[in-house]
Amino acid sequence: MNGVVDQLAPAKYSPYRVFSAEDWAKFRADTPMTLTADEVGRLRSLGDPIDLDEVSRIYLAVSRLISAHVESSQLLFRQRQRFLSGDGTGQKTPFIIGIAGSVAVGKSTTARILKELMTRWPSSPKVDLVTTDGFLFPNVVLQAEEMMQRKGFPESYDVGAILRFLSDIKAGRERVEAPVYSHFVYDVVPNEHVVVDRPDILIFEGLNVLQVHEMPKDGKAIPFVSDFFDISIYIDADEAAIRRWYIDRFMRLRETAFRQEGSFFHRYSKIPDAEALAIAEGLWVNINGKNLHENILPTRPRADLILRKGENHLIEQVALRKL
């Protein structure tokens, strides 16, 4: 043996319990469906076929699981307050959910669906969603550092700003600002922010949110982004499928968003299909596929919940970390 264990293989050494989508659906129990088909259609990203049946089959059980974690977190908070000689009634800290995975795998759809489901819990929690895109360095910085071809790689993000943002959220600070990113212009929007004001739950979604770095030799603490997460989710699929979804999306965007004047990718709407297809394949091979292999996929074993998609872009397997 080489000491390497397939973390998702059903075996006694795996830290996960692995379920088929059909078995996972049973964990929905009596969780009510609070979304409509039209709402799901508005929440899904381009090329993502998720529908009401998929929400019922997969995401209601995920919502129920997160609800249990939130309740347990609140109970632990009160117990710790009493342990620290308090009365257990202090201000609880926001519950943070990290969602990771490759480009084009469906992170944004998952984040939006979960946000809407959680907002409609009986307790009516305040749920905010922030993506890491806004924390990318502006293009002018990436160009000066010759990093445009590594946009989306860990070094292209202002990690210090991410850590300050999450630290402020966990501290319960009021009106914490997060920068805004425009996919239309493919850049951070100068002087524009969203305000996150003491949510009950924050969803933090991005390619590399489970990323770690080399541990310091002197043992001094260097926080990881994931240190602030209460639960983490990784959206998974075979690379061949993700590559196809990415290229299909690129080609479809040529007929929609890329056609608009001012779009960063407008030039790609004016070239022949064959040339555009070659460009999309090159972007995958040289940037997105490389980022998946080097940085994103290696973080999958750090997730608490892994939602694995099949060729049809729908969840076929769920892996839940054992307690």
Domains and CATH numbers, the chain: 16-321 (3.40.50.300)
pLDDT in tens, 148-207: 999 999 999 999 999 999 999 999 999 999 999 999 999 999 999 999 999 999 999 999
What angle, rounded to 10 degrees, do the helices at 239-253 and 273-283 form? Answer: 140
pLDDT band at 321 (very low <50, low <70, confident <90, very high): very high
Q: What is the pLDDT of residue 3?
A: 47
Other CB atoms within 10 A of residue 229 CB: 23
Could you give the CA distance from residue 60 to residue 113 in angstroms, rounded to a whole number? 10
pLDDT in tens, 213-248: 777 778 777 789 999 999 999 999 999 999 999 999
pLDDT in tens, 116-151: 999 999 999 999 999 999 999 999 999 999 999 999
Average pLDDT, the chain: 93
pLDDT in tens, 65-100: 999 999 999 999 888 888 887 776 667 789 999 999
Query: Residue 303 above 70 pLDDT?
Result: yes
CA separation, residue 131 to residues 5, 112, 202 (Å): 32, 11, 10
